[in-house]
Amino acid sequence: MMPPKIVWTPEADQLLGTMPDQALAQRLGCSRQAIVVRRHRRGIPSFHKFRRPWTRAEEELLGTMPDRRLARRLQRSVESVAARRTGKGIPLFNPKTHHWKPEDDKLLGERPDTQVAMLLGVSKMAVQHRRSRLDIPPAGGSRFSPPRPWSPEEDALLGTATDVVVGRRLGRTPERVRHRRHRLGIPASGSHWTPEADALLGTMPDKEAARRLNCTAKAVARRRERLKIPGWRLRFKGKKAKP
């Protein structure tokens, strides 16, 4: 007779990995395979009686850096760190979610990017991105001066040529031009995305729309996903588009 299917509750999930799978299966009245599948699905390692218990200080570090880096620091396996973080409901480390404070920004440009990244527990790329957004030169570079405000005449040039060309005309970096253009909702030069082009999205396969708009199917798919328009197959449930 097959063991009955188990309804997983938060209390049952908390028991995963705290004892051998067979013992937990007998306790919950289900099969050992059900325990193994559930444990693997939640990223919880199997029970080991010699496993080192977690301290509060170690748990406070979960999610503050990539699991692999924290595993090396704590001399634990990556699987163990990931399982503990998941069990505590702590999201995966993401440098983009770092909330920059005024005291953090003061470090930018005063210390090397690598050192700032180590001090704040973020990636070097995150530091470079933040410094670029604030127009702060790297440590040892020219002295920082406040960014030049945009004039109406400069805004009028956005989208009339590539960001590189406009940047050269205005004496600004392509990144600053692109950021300003995105902020004002101005499409890039030569953009295919007019209201008429957007109206085609999802009404036919991406490849067909790409052929009509003279762009790649990947560009069509990216635009469609950005506008949250379902694909042609999902939208029409397999029906062929009318010619």
pTM above 0.75? no
Does a structural domain hold residue 110?
A: yes
Residue 56 belongs to domain spanning: 10-87
Does a structural domain hold residue 5?
A: no
Same domain, yes or no: 31 and 49 = yes
57 class by beta-carbon count within 10 Å (0-12 exposed, 13-18 middle, 19+ buried) = exposed
Structural domain count, the chain: 4
Q: What is the pLDDT of residue 143?
A: 47
pLDDT, tens digit (0-9, with 9 covering 90-100), for 152-174: 889 888 878 777 778 888 888 87
Per mean pLDDT, which range of 10-19, 72-81, 128-137, 181-190 is the poorest? 181-190
DSSP notation for 54-102 = PPHHHHTTTTSS-HHHHHHHHT--HHHHHHHHHHTTPPPP-GGG----H
Same domain, yes or no: 15 and 79 = yes
Same domain, yes or no: 80 and 108 = no
Same domain, yes or no: 118 and 162 = no
Cα of 232 vs its chain's centroid, Å: 27
pLDDT, tens digit (0-9, with 9 covering 90-100), for 53-95: 788 888 888 877 788 888 888 888 777 787 777 777 777 776 5
